[in-house]
Amino acid sequence: MIAPRKILTAEMIAAIEALAPRYPDRRALTLPALHIVNDSLRYVPLEAVVEVAELLGLKPAEVQDSLSFYEFFHQDAPAGIVRAWVCRSISCALRGGEEVMEHLCRKAGVRPGETTSDGLLTVEVAECLGACDFAPCMLAGSTLYKNLTPEKMNEFLAHSKVSCHE
């Protein structure tokens, strides 16, 4: 059955189907499909889960089961325009990772996991970003911010046009 109001656009469905020949089983398209939806909507609402399941011939619960495992896809509301992942693992923590995270949160007026009220920025903790040679670091969108300091965080916030507290 096709839901009357589609979350998935024709472009998204075409992008998902373009990957289908790569896998012998359509269930393997689950993660690629969720990424395609998330790249475009910045979240994967439950309605999209149902539609992805229909497209792949799965039960919605099967898709939701995989999705929820990763704690990666937002579901209730879109993430901010920029998703900033600040590394908290050991190499970054040794070089001030927690301090730059605290600075970012204070300036942006959010706690880790929250989105600024202007919807521009979601701040999240990350486990090792694999850039320990540039610790402390942050992945914001597809940009890796290296050797962070509070000053560099201020520059990042100004660049992202987030309205700062203090």
Partner 1 sequence: MSDFQPVLLAGIGITDSFTRASYEERGGYAALRQTLTEKKPTDVIDIIKASGLRGRGGAGFPTGLKWTFLPKDHPGPIYLCINADESEPGTFNNRILMEEDPHQVLEGTILSAYATRATTAYIYLRYEYPASWDRMQSAIDECYAAGYLGNKILGSSFSLNIYLHRGAAAYICGEETGLIESLEGKRAWPRIKPPFPAVEGLFHKPTVVNNIETVACVAQIVRRGVDWFRSIGVPSDPANPRDPGSYGPKLYCLSGHVNRPGCYEAPLGITVRELIDRFGGGVWKNRKAKAAIPGGISMGILTEAEFDTPLDFSGPGKVGCLGLGTAAVVVLDETVSMIDFLYNSCRFFAHESCGQCTPCREGTSWSLRMIERIRAGKGRIKDLDLLLEIGTTIGMMPGTTICGLADGAGWPIKNTIKKFRDECEDYVKRTNPTGWMVNEPVPALAIVNGH
- With binding defined as CB under 8 A, does residue 88 bind partner 1? yes
Site membership for partner 1, residue 73 (CB under 8 A)? yes
Buried b (16+ CB within 10 A) or exposed e, 108-124: bebebeebbeeebbbbb
Angle between helices 10-19 and 30-41 (to 10 degrees): 150
Please report whether residue 20 would count as binding partner 1 according to CB under 8 A: no
Question: Which tokens go with 90?
Answer: 């050991």
35 binds partner 1 (CB under 8 A): yes
Q: Token match 């730059």: residue?
A: 100
CB of 46 to partner 1, least distance (A): 18
115 forms bridges with which residues in the sheet? 122
Closer residue to partner 1 in complex, CB, 67/157: 67
Shortest distance (Å) from residue 120 CB to partner 1 = 18
CA-CA distance, 38 to 77, in Å (whole number)?
11
- Closest CB 54 distance from partner 1, rounded Å: 15
- Give the residue with the Cβ less far from partner 1, 129 or 162: 129
Q: Does residue 85 interact with partner 1 by CB under 8 A?
A: yes
Shortest distance, position 4 Cβ to partner 1, whole Å? 26
Q: Could you give the strand order of the β-sheet that contains 121-126, starting from the edge strand earlier in sequence?
A: 121-126, 82-87, 138-140, 143-145
What does the alpha-carbon distance between residue 151 and residue 166 come to, in Å, rounded to a whole number?
A: 14
Which positions lie near partner 1, rule CB under 8 A?
A: 22-25, 27-32, 34-35, 56, 65-66, 69-73, 85, 88-91, 93-95, 111-113, 124-135, 139, 142, 144
